[in-house]
Amino acid sequence: MPSVTIYTQFGDYINPNIVNEAIKSLGFDEVYDITYACEIVTEITRKEIENVRKPAISPFCPSVVRLINASYPELMEHVIKVLTPIEVAAILIREKYRKMGFKDEEVGVFFLTPCVGWITKVKNIQKNTKSQINGAIAISDVYSKILRYISKNNKNIETNGTVAMSYSGLRWATVGGQSTSMHFKEHIDVDGVKNVIRVLDDIEKGKFDDVEFIEAHACTEGCLGGILLVDNPFNAKRVLKKFSSQLNFTNRMSKISEHYKNEFLSDGYIKTSKGLKLADDFESAVKKMKYMNEIINMLPGIDCGQCGSPSCKAFAEDVVRGFSKVEECIMLKKGVKNYEG
């Protein structure tokens, strides 16, 4: 299941069929179009928003949900209890292969992600529930192989004309894409952790009661600014705009059954991020707490969110739990040892 951001990473428009063939060359049997799942989540969210306190907050960005859970727990009642398109897509894939006679353990479902936050989230889900997703793979880890395949086979692959994708689903990769797809009149679209914090602070103070929907992204420029991508996010945004003229956009959304409505509604992402212990026994927990404090002192304290965690403290906690590695801190890579501001 590739994030749609992968199609924007090659400097200019590349037919998605070619990119999909390149992905399959890595050893995958099928590439699933997540934009269809975005349509499903869009329709469910437009109805489910009535059941949460306003302003309703999108659960799409895992780093934002973790930030709310850790620092603004009273705002969790504002988060819409619907699964993300990635989780919905995984459920649909599982269902498809079960009908084909495959057992769950015979099928591996992986998300090609632009975001470290999703790698952490998948590991969290796997630890606490039976996940439909086997793992998350960084786009940057497979990018060179995909690019090499495209460069070698670009002219030889049959593109089959236009590609059918969901326009509204594709726009989910950009800031404001969700809000626009759902046709909300009063909405706030915000990107970057520090800006998200300003908005959450104001919600906590009782502001924005007249706002229907908050679309919040930890990464600047939304998913296009994910740390696990390669191309400049602003160029990726330009490339994404080209899709509107190159692709045969379709709306494949028919009436959603009550079964799917119930299956795709969940507060599981809230439960899995609460009350996690560092260790089962006291001695190990103390050792891990000490190690966590050492990591916190090593980090720059910027809370930039580019590691996929909402804060340096949360990142240190992820490292101790084995969900992340210290070298995934982009500021340490850049040589930023401390921060004064």
Give the model's pLDDT for residue 95. Answer: 92
Would you say 215 and 187 are in contact if contact means Cβ atoms under 8 Å apart? yes
CATH topology classification for 282-333: 3-methyladenine DNA Glycosylase II; Chain A, domain 3 (1.10.15)
Lowest mean pLDDT of 27-41, 86-100, 188-202, 276-290, name the range. Answer: 276-290
Confidence band of 86 (pLDDT split at 50, 70, 90)? very high
Lowest mean pLDDT of 58-62, 272-276, 285-289, 308-312, name the range. Answer: 272-276
Sign of the CA dihedral with 50 first, then 53, 54, and 57 last: negative
Give the model's pLDDT for residue 255. Answer: 58
DSSP letters, 211-235, are: --EEEEESSTTGGGG-TT--S-HHH
Write out pLDDT tens, residues 181-233.
Answer: 898 999 999 999 889 999 999 999 999 989 999 999 999 999 999 989 999 99
Confidence band of 341 (pLDDT split at 50, 70, 90)? very low
Higher pLDDT, 250 or 313: 313
Q: Is the pLDDT of residue 308 over 80?
A: no
Average pLDDT, the chain: 83
Lowest mean pLDDT of 32-46, 267-281, 309-323, name the range. Answer: 267-281
Q: Is the pLDDT of residue 160 over 60?
A: no
- Sheet strands side by side (includes 213-217): 56-57, 213-217, 187-191
Q: Considering the entire predicted model, what is its pTM? A: 0.79
Q: Is the pLDDT of residue 143 over 60?
A: yes
CATH 1.10.15.40, the chain: domain bounds: 282-333
Give the model's pLDDT for residue 238. Answer: 92
Give the model's pLDDT for residue 271. Answer: 47
Confidence band of 1 (pLDDT split at 50, 70, 90)? very high
Find, among 59, 64, 73, the residue nearest to 303 by Cα.
Answer: 64
Enumerate helices (H) and strands (E) in the chain, giving the number of each. 15, 7
Give the model's pLDDT for residue 54. Answer: 93
Write out pLDDT tens, residues 320-335.
Answer: 777 777 777 767 766 5
Lowest mean pLDDT of 92-96, 108-112, 225-229, 296-300, name the range. Answer: 296-300
Give the model's pLDDT for residue 336. Answer: 47
Bond preceding residue 233 cis, omega within 30 of 0: no
Higher pLDDT, 306 or 26: 26
Q: Is the pLDDT of residue 274 over 50?
A: no
Cα–Cα distance list, 114 to 132, 163, 192, 323 (Å)? 19, 22, 15, 16
Cβ neighbors of 323 (< 8 A, separation 6 or more) are 119, 120, 123, 124
The DSSP 8-state label assigned to residue 256 in this structure reads P
Give the model's pLDDT for residue 270. Answer: 47
Find, among 302, 315, 173, the residue nearest to 231 by Cα.
Answer: 173
Would you say 39 and 251 are in contact if contact means Cβ atoms under 8 Å apart? yes
Higher pLDDT, 7 or 158: 7
Give the model's pLDDT for residue 293. Answer: 81
